[in-house]
Amino acid sequence: MKAQPAFEVVTLAGELDIARKEELHRALFVEAEMRGVLVDLSDVTYADSTALTELLRFRMHAEQHGLPVAVVVNGPQLDRIIRYAGLHEVFDIFENRGDAMAHLERAS
């Protein structure tokens, strides 16, 4: 019996801006067999429109491939940015990894 693929965990930190666009793209668009993706933004202090656009592109990609995605955001500044951009309406956002992982287990 083949084991079910694991969840991919993408951990990002610092400022996500245009200078880190390629790094962000490589981190998110992992070519691997997986059951879902946890994007941990706990240590992200800022995200510009380039980063938010890349996150949205990733969300559409994951949706096309039937991958559940959970995002961890626990900083007030990033939470405001995500809410202002409306990304809280397209991502399942959690305050910690435990809740995010539990969501992925249920969704996969």
pLDDT in tens, 14-60: 999 999 999 999 999 987 778 999 999 999 999 999 999 999 999 99
Rounded to 5 degrees, what are φ and ψ at 29?
-90, 65
Question: What was the pLDDT predicted at 6?
Answer: 85
Question: What was the pLDDT predicted at 5?
Answer: 62
Distances in whole angstroms, Cα of residue 2 to Cα of each of 5, 16, 49, 93, 100: 9, 37, 41, 31, 25
Please tell me whether the overall predicted TM-score, pTM, comes out greater than 0.85 for this model.
yes
State the Cα–Cα distance between residues 99 and 21, nearest whole angstrom: 28
DSSP-assigned letter for residue 72: E
Rg (CA), the chain: 13
The mean pLDDT of the chain is 92
